[in-house]
Amino acid sequence: MNVFRIVIHILILYAFYWTGVWIQGVLQLPIPGSILGMLLLLAVFIFTSATPKWIQEGSGLLLGNMPLLFLPVTAGLVIHGELFSVLGAVLVTAVFISTLLVMGTGSWVSQYLLKKRREHRE
């Protein structure tokens, strides 16, 4: 039963991903479809009675295995090390700034959802 629930959660996440990719393709937006899908998921959480608990187990499994998903990226960086000798400072700065933006946005969204959950309970 638990495996079935995890599969359903991951399928829900994939549905949002593919919806975002479809919207990006149809509207030719400069934003990646995966980001649009996550924004759609956020909108569902904000504007409906849906809760993150509906995808908690599946998303937890994916997040727990995330380091495995980045192994190909790491291998590519090792192979193309000459890029760092030329653009190293620019790449490190871009990674630092984007990491701060992701952390800040993630913190804000988490706080917002916790506040919404508290209001919903009252």
Q: So where are the chain's domains?
A: 1-68, 70-122
pLDDT tens track for 4-28? 877 877 788 888 888 989 998 898 8
pLDDT tens track for 45-58? 888 877 777 777 77
What distance in Å separates the CA atoms of residue 109 and residue 14, rounded to the nearest whole number?
Answer: 20
Q: What is the mean pLDDT of residues 89-110?
A: 87
pTM of the predicted structure, to 2 decimals: 0.53
Please report the DSSP string for 8-71 in residue order.
HHHHHHHHHHHHHHHHHHHHT-SS-HHHHHHHHHHHHHHHSS--GGGGHHHHHHHHHTHHHHTH
